[in-house]
Each structure stands twice: as C-alpha cells, then as structure tokens.
Amino acid sequence: MPKKRLTDKAIQNLPVPATGREEYLDDTKGLVLRISHTGDKAWSVIYRVLGEGGLTDTGRELRGKQKRISLGAYPAVSLAEARRKAFEMTDKADRRIDPKIEQAQVVASRYDGTLAKVANTMMDLADIQSIATMRSCFAMHIIPTLGPRPMTEIRLADINALLDSYVASGRAGTAREIRKYLTRLWGFAHQRDIVPANIMLGMRRKDISYKPRTRVLDDDELKAVWQAASALRYPFGPLIQLLMLTGLRKNELARATWDEIDLTRRGLLLQADRTKTSEPILSPFSDAAWAILQSLPRFNGPYIFSTTGGRVPMSAGTKMADMLDEACGDAAEDFTMHDLRRTLRTRLPALGVTPDIAERVINHKPKGVIGVYDLYAYLPERREAVNRYAAHVMELVGE
C-alpha cells in the first residue's frame, strides 16, 4: 500500500485502476484512501487495539489484530475531516477502546437494540460482496416480522416459527437464507455485547438443509423450454433464451444495462460489484445470443430487461418461473432457471470443450495457483464454446 502525504490536488490526480481497487496510506496514522475502478474514493481507518493481543512475559500489553472502519466517501468527507476522525479512532485504540464496537453499541442502544436497527448497523459495517442480497433478505423476510422487537426479547422459538412459515409455503431455500443471515446477526450482536448469548449457535434444521441440485435437461426438454420461451412476451421469453445460450446467472442478466454491452467484443461486461467472484469479467455472446439481444426494444431507461420502460430491471422471480412452467406443460417439469446454466456446463465437454474452458464460460474462477497466476481471459476460446452450444441448441429446435 503506497504511503504519501495526501492533498486535495494529489487525490484528484491519483490514477483510477483499470480493475479492482487501489489504496493509499496517508501520513496521518491509520488513514487510508481507497480508489475503485469506477473512480469512487472512500476513507477508512486501520487500527489495532492496545491490550487485545494479551501480555508479554514481562507484562507489556500487545495490540490485537488489525481492524478497519469506514469513514465515508470523498469528497463528502473532506481530507481534513477524515484526518480528524482517524486521529480520534487511533487515539481510542491506544486507550484500549475499539471504535467499531463503540460505534455499534452507541447506535444499537440509541434504538433499544431492536433487531431492525442492529441488523442495519451490521450491514452498514459489513464489507462483503453479497451485501445487496443480505439487505434484501432482511427487508423482505425478517424485519417485517421480527424487526421492531428488541433482540434480547427474541427467543429461538420465534425464529423457528418464522422458518416454519416459509417451509410450509414451499420456500425452504428462503428459510435457509433467513437462518444464514440471522446466524450472522446474532454473532455480530453477541460479539458487541448487545445480546447476552448467541441463540443461533448450533441451530440445526434438516428440513432446510442445502441439497445440491443435479437436474440437467435432456434434448427434448431443452427444445420444449426454448419453444415455450418463444411464446412468452418480452422481457420474459428473450431473457430465458439468453440464459439458455450464455450460462449467465439469472440476476446478472436480468439486471443488465445497455451500458454493460460491449459492442466491440460482443458480450456483457460486468464490473466487480456485479459478479460472484468480485472481479470484472466479459461474457461473450454467441452469434445466436447476439441476434436475440439486437432484436430487443430500446427504452429511455438503462435496463435491457424491464417492464417499466427501462427505468428499473425486471423481476425474474416466481412469476417468470410460473409462466414458463405453464408454457412447458408436461414436456419439461421440475426445473429452475439455474438448471439451464448447469445443463450448458454439462453439455459443453460433449461438444469438445475442455473442462477448464467450460468452467470459465460460466464465470467460475479457477482455484489454487492457476487462479492466481493465469490471468488470460480466454475470450476467443469461450466465444467458440458458446457458439458450439448455441449451434447445438439451434439444431435441436430446428432454427
């Protein structure tokens, strides 16, 4: 991490990284400026709390693990304000006070420790790729029921009752997400002394345990799904067909904007905040997929798939799935949109695509040393792979 004396002029002239993000350490103790590939700039403070690392043999206090706390975006938070806040927080760390825990406790106590407020505090402090998914789960499924109640008054029976209601309505997957985020929330609250105990520890629910799907569509089912999608109106039908041909994740494509379309390389360019691997990636389109994309209507709004003139992205949820199920009838049963992605990945090796290229087609990052050192994008190879698969599908459907 480069260290330099930052000034407003220097900050304005700092280069924007082509991918990922770059950090600069100010000469003010612990103050860091982060610049993302989008050009956004944000402050944070790195600190280590005195005493958290225990004692030496001579009784000297040691500092604990390195921690980080966000201060806000630049220039909304000025350089002078960031330096002032950084000094306050590192000074607290020197006095054995963890500013992150102090901040969470102050906010939680201000709102009597209600689940909603503690959850929002946790999410404000979180630095994870899936934060949008977490916020959505809390907003839609948890806060309406448990949000107004103090966490200290919520019992495991209350949580099980909430999970039971989702299982009974056939939404075990949603129940599993609820349990995952509540487990994270109680761990956060217990660590900060907001609740006396983590009631989620050791919670087991066999009825919502994850069972990996192995569903792969055969030739007749692929043909039936394609034909059913052809009968559905925009945006549902074209989205389903593009999911079949690209192997993209449903929300990656359903939330795509026209600005993300790379006209030169004929593909969808997703930035790091839109990918599961937290890295930007270009997904090439086959000729058949590109033709579908070019046939779609254009609106004033930015989104490709929309029922509001492009102003907001379409909802690719149960409504679309129900429409497709009804259109398919008995020709293709018990499948999900994600099964289309699995089907593509399963078929590629039979079409002469090597497993490593097949994995890259569905944007899986290679593991281990290869993932660290092999940074070649394999764009021609991936494009050839999706063209082979598209030709296979077109042959099945007679187009």
Domain count for the chain: 3
For residues 233 and 337, membership in a common domain is answered with yes
Give residue-wise pLDDT tens across range 230-247.
999 999 999 999 999 999
Of 208, 228, 260, which residue is a domain's last? 208
Whether the per-residue pLDDT at 90 is higher than 60: the answer is yes
CB contact at 8 A, 283 and 292: no
For residues 282 and 161, membership in a common domain is answered with no
For residues 148 and 294, membership in a common domain is answered with no
Lowest pLDDT segment from 114-123, 219-228, 332-341, 366-375: 366-375
Is 128 part of any domain? yes
pLDDT, position 346: 97
Whether the per-residue pLDDT at 263 is higher than 70: the answer is yes
For residues 200 and 133, membership in a common domain is answered with yes
55-67 burial: b if 16+ Cβ within 10 Å, else e:
eeeeeeeebbeeb
**176 pLDDT band (50/70/90 cuts)?**
very high
Is 2 part of any domain? no
For residues 173 and 237, membership in a common domain is answered with no
Q: What's 276's domain CATH number? A: 1.10.443.10
Give residue-wise pLDDT tens across range 347-361.
999 999 999 999 999
Average per-residue pLDDT for the chain: 89
Q: What's 115's domain CATH number? A: 1.10.150.130
For residues 257 and 286, membership in a common domain is answered with yes
Whether the per-residue pLDDT at 111 is higher than 60: the answer is no
Give residue-wise pLDDT tens across range 20-32.
888 998 888 899 9
Q: What percent of the chain has pLDDT over 90?
A: 54
Whether the per-residue pLDDT at 109 is higher than 60: the answer is no
Residue 138 is part of which domain span?
110-208
For residues 240 and 345, membership in a common domain is answered with yes
Whether the per-residue pLDDT at 345 is higher than 80: the answer is yes
Of 166, 186, 208, which residue is a domain's last? 208
CB contact at 8 A, 247 and 218: no
Output the CA–CA distances (angstroms, integers) from residue 262 to 56, 268, 311, in the order listed: 58, 6, 20
